[in-house]
C-alpha cells in the first residue's frame, strides 16, 4: 500500500508541470554535504522513481537545482550538477547491474564527464572518489523501474534540434530528435502522427561526439578515425543507407540543452553494449527492426 502511494507521488511530482512542487519537496532535505551522500538521502527515500526515463530526468534536474541552491559555489551552473547527478545514477546502474557485460571503468567515467564539467569544478581525484564510493556501496532507489530498465533508459533524451550534414547541398532543418540506446532518430515533429514515422536515424557506433567552444550550441557527430562514413539511414519507404556523410551537426536552442545532449550522446556512444541496428551498406538496407519512442524494438 505504501509502495503504491510512493509510486503515485513520484509519478505526480515528476511531471514537468509540477516541477515547482518537486523542487519544494527536495528543499525540505538538508543537502549541505557531498553530492553522492545528498543523492543517497534525497533519492533513496519515500519518493519512488517512475518507470519512464524522461520523468526520471525531471526528478534529477529538480534535485540538481535545489542541491546547487543549497551549496552555492559547488558547481558553475545547475547544468553541471544535473549532468553529474545523471552520470552518478547511470554509473550506479551500470556497475551493479549483472546484465551489463562490460562495466564502466573509472577512466571512462571521468572521460565521459570531463568535456561538460571542467577540472576546476571537479578534479579527476574527486571524480575517482565518487566512482569508488558508488562501486563500493550501491545506491538503492525506490522505483517501479528495475535496474535493467534504468540502464536501458538512461541514455534516452528527446527534444527539438536543428540539423545539417557536411554534404555540399545540406542546409539547416528543424526536427524532433529521440535518443534511445545507441541510436539517434529524428522525426518531422513531436505529434502523434509522426511518432511511428521516423525520417532518419544515426547509429552512434564508429563515431565521436564533439563540441566547439566557438559554437556553444552546436554538437558534431563525426566519423571516428579509420571510418569513411557515418551509419546514417533515411526512411523513405525502404530504409536506405546514406553514403558519404562523415559529419552531422546539431544545434540546440540554448546552452543548457546543448550540454545535456552532448553528454547523453557521448554516453550513448560509450554505452553501446546493446544490440545495435545492423546496417548493410552494400545493399543500402537495415536488417533488423527499428526502435520506437519508448526504446522497445518493433
221-to-16, 175, 197, 239, 268 alpha-carbon distances in Å: 29, 16, 23, 21, 12
Q: What is the per-residue pLDDT for 297? A: 31
When divided into structural domains, the chain yields a total of 2
Q: What is the per-residue pLDDT for 8? A: 57
Q: What is the per-residue pLDDT for 31? A: 94
Residue 296 lies in a domain: no
Q: What is the per-residue pLDDT for 287? A: 34
Q: What is the per-residue pLDDT for 14? A: 66
Answer yes or no: do 92 and 189 share one domain: no
Question: What is the CATH number for 120?
Answer: 1.10.1000.11
DSSP letter at 50 equals: P
CA 47 distance to own-chain centroid = 22
151, 171, 188: which is the final residue of a domain?
151
Residue 50 lies in a domain: yes
Using DSSP, state whether 162 is helix, strand or coil. strand
Q: What is the per-residue pLDDT for 213? A: 81
Q: What is the per-residue pLDDT for 167? A: 85
Cell numbers found for residue 273: 553494449
Answer yes or no: do 46 and 131 share one domain: yes
What whole-number distance in Å separates Cα of residue 82 and Cα of residue 62? Answer: 8
| Residue-by-residue pLDDT tens, the chain, 298 positions | 333 444 556 666 667 677 788 888 899 899 999 999 999 988 876 677 766 666 777 888 889 999 999 999 998 888 888 889 888 887 887 788 766 667 788 988 888 787 678 888 899 999 999 999 999 998 887 665 545 445 444 557 888 999 999 888 888 999 999 887 678 888 988 888 877 788 888 888 778 899 888 888 999 998 887 777 887 888 776 667 787 888 999 999 998 889 889 888 887 775 443 333 444 434 333 333 333 343 333 2
By C-alpha distance, which of 155, 165, 172 is closest to 253?
A: 172
Residue 294 lies in a domain: no
What whole-number distance in Å separates Cα of residue 181 and Cα of residue 152? Answer: 7
Q: Bridge-partner residues for 208, per DSSP?
A: 222
Answer yes or no: do 276 and 172 share one domain: yes
Q: Which residues, including other chains, have CB under 8 Å from residue 102's CB and lie 6 or more apart? A: 273
What whole-number distance in Å separates Cα of residue 55 and Cα of residue 67? Answer: 19
Answer yes or no: do 135 and 62 share one domain: yes
- Cell 517512475 found at: 50
What is the extent of the structural domain holding 89?
2-151
Q: What is the per-residue pLDDT for 100? A: 63
Do strands 247-251 and 215-223 pair parallel, antiparallel, or not at all (unpaired)?
antiparallel
What whole-number distance in Å separates Cα of residue 29 and Cα of residue 205? Answer: 41
Answer yes or no: do 264 and 129 share one domain: no
pTM listed for this prediction? 0.60
What whole-number distance in Å separates Cα of residue 136 and Cα of residue 259? Answer: 29
Amino acid at each position: 500500500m505504501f509502495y503504491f502511494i510512493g509510486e503515485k507521488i513520484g509519478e505526480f511530482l515528476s511531471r514537468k508541470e509540477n516541477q515547482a512542487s518537486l523542487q519544494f519537496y527536495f528543499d525540505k532535505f538538508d543537502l549541505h554535504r557531498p553530492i553522492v551522500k545528498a543523492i543517497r538521502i534525497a533519492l533513496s527515500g519515500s519518493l519512488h522513481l517512475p518507470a519512464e526515463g524522461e520523468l526520471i530526468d525531471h526528478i534529477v534536474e529538480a534535485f540538481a537545482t535545489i542541491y546547487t541552491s543549497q551549496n552555492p559555489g559547488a558547481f558553475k551552473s545547475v547544468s553541471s550538477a544535473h549532468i553529474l547527478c545523471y552520470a552518478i545514477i547511470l554509473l550506479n546502474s551500470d556497475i551493479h547491474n549483472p546484465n551489463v557485460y562490460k562495466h564502466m571503468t573509472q577512466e571512462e567515467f571521468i572521460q565521459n564527464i570531463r568535456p561538460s564539467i571542467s577540472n576546476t569544478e571537479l578534479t579527476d581525484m574527486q571524480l575517482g572518489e565518487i566512482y569508488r564510493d558508488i562501486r563500493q556501496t550501491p545506491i538503492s532507489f525506490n522505483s517501479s523501474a528495475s535496474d535493467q530498465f534504468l540502464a536501458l533508459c538512461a541514455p534516452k533524451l528527446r527534444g527539438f534540434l536543428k540539423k545539417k550534414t557536411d554534404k555540399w547541398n545540406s542546409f539547416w532543418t528543424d526536427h524532433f530528435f529521440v535518443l534511445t540506446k545507441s541510436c539517434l532518430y529524428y522525426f518531422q515533429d513531436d505529434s502523434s502522427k509522426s511518432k511511428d514515422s521516423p525520417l532518419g536515424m544515426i547509429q552512434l557506433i564508429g563515431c565521436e561526439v564533439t563540441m566547439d567552444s566557438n559554437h556553444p550550441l552546436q554538437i558534431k557527430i563525426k566519423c571516428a578515425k579509420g571510418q569513411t562514413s557515418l551509419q546514417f539511414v533515411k526512411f523513405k519507404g525502404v530504409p536506405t543507407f546514406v553514403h558519404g556523410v562523415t559529419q552531422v551537426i546539431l544545434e540546440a536552442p540554448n546552452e543548457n540543452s546543448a550540454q545535456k545532449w552532448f553528454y547523453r550522446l557521448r554516453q550513448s556512444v560509450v554505452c553501446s553494449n546493446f544490440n545495435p541496428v545492423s546496417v548493410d551498406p552494400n545493399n543500402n538496407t537495415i536488417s533488423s527492426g527499428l526502435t520506437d519512442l519508448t526504446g522497445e524494438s518493433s
